[in-house]
Amino acid sequence: MNVFRDLFRDFRFRWSFTIVVILGFFAGLSFFAPHDPTMWGTFPRDLSPSSTNLLGTDSRGIDIFWTATFAVRNSLTIALVAGLISRMIAVPVALLAGYKGGTTDRVFMFIGDSFLVIPLFLIIVLLAMLVRDSMNLFTLGLMLACLGWAWDARVIRSEILSLRERGFTQTAVLSGSGTMRLVMKEYMPFITPLVFATLINVMAWAISLEITLAILGLVNLDIPTLGTMIFWALSYQAVMLGYWWWLLTPVVLSILLFIALYWLSVSISEYLDPRSRIQRVGA
């Protein structure tokens, strides 16, 4: 409870947490959808928002409100898969490379740097084209995770290199602490803010790439996501026809999600930073 009380003193956390809770509740409504949001012709086409269809319908005869609930849930699923799996790669690589050094560091950083110098977006587009017919939420998240860990590993490694040279590391080694105990007990409190911040950043990156790939038509367009909603709205000329409710729904939801993720990353990272914690205790 003390943690939340301290965090809620930061207006960024208050607003971002509120937005995430609202979006999470919105996504949860998808489990109670009264009809299949992928079924065309469920309602009359191009209806304006009303009490029956809260956000109107699109040119395919699909209710936009219920489609949006599935879109938020699916986009968050892709982001979580990409973020969590990429942490499973980036964190061990950074810890081993930073602490062991030498050949281990050079090999891991060579692999990581290879991912940094290649034209990543073109590789993602090429892979999306190859697996488009069999792509689902997990496949897309896994693909983004396997290609999006390298920069985060280098950032976390730089912190490990700094920690390795500090006095408490030599003290722990001389006292007989093993590598795993040293890393988990001494290093993790320092790198946790970086791990969490990079997790949130990867989630936002994954959502933005999903939207980009969807607009290009390189994902399974039958799966409702924020990107596929924008794709169908653009394909049916929603802007020119004045169907503002169709295009604005995924755009506004995407903006809210990006802002919430960014503010969560900044506020929680600052709270978990040991230096900020010392300042709070001193105050």
Q: Please give the Cα distance from 169 to 234 (Å, whole number).
A: 56
Is 7 a member of any domain? no
Is 207 a member of any domain? yes
Is 281 a member of any domain? no
**Contact predicate 276/21, CB 8 Å:** no
Report the b/e string of 161-187 with b at 16+ CB within 10 A. Answer: eebbeeeebeebeeeeeeeeebbeebb
Q: Which residues pair with 63 in a beta bridge?
A: 57
User: What's the domain range around 90?
Assistant: 74-219
Low-confidence ranges of the chain (pLDDT < 50): 281-283
pLDDT in tens, 73-126: 999 999 999 999 999 999 888 888 887 778 888 888 888 888 888 888 888 888
Q: Which residues pair with 57 in a beta bridge?
A: 63
Give the Cβ contact number of residue 26 at 10 Å: 17
Is 85 a member of any domain? yes
**Contact predicate 265/193, CB 8 Å:** no
Q: Please give the Cα distance from 155 to 158 (Å, whole number).
A: 5
pLDDT attached to residue 276: 58
Give the Cβ contact number of residue 227 at 10 Å: 28
pLDDT attached to residue 114: 84
- Specify the CATH number for the domain of residue 118: 1.10.3720.10
pLDDT attached to residue 267: 82
Is 201 a member of any domain? yes
Is 277 a member of any domain? no
**Contact predicate 129/135, CB 8 Å:** no
Q: For 57, phi and psi rounded to 5 degrees? A: -125, 165
Is 268 a member of any domain? no
Which residues neighbour 268 within 8 Å (Cβ) at sequence distance 6 or greater?
Answer: 7, 13, 193, 196, 197
DSSP string, the chain: -HHHHHHTTSHHHHHHHHHHHHHHHHHHGGGG-SS-TT-TTSS-TTPPP-SSSTT-B-TTS-BHHHHHHHHHHHHHHHHHHHHHHHHHHHHHHHHHHHHH-HHHHHHHHHHHHHHHHS-HHHHHHHHHHHSGGG--HHHHHHHHHHHS-HHHHHHHHHHHHHHHTSHHHHHHHHTT--HHHHIIIIIHHHHHHHHHHHHHHHHHHHHHHHHHHHHTT-S-TTS--HHHHHHHHHHTTHHHHT-HHHHHHHHHHHHHHHHHHHHHHHHHHHHH-HHHHHHHHH-
**Contact predicate 99/164, CB 8 Å:** yes
Give how many domains the chain has, as a whole number.
1
pLDDT attached to residue 251: 94
Q: Please give the Cα distance from 264 to 76 (Å, whole number).
A: 15
Is 283 a member of any domain? no
Q: Please give the Cα distance from 197 to 190 (Å, whole number).
A: 12
pTM of the predicted model as reported, rounded to 2 decimal places: 0.86
Give the Cβ contact number of residue 142 at 10 Å: 16
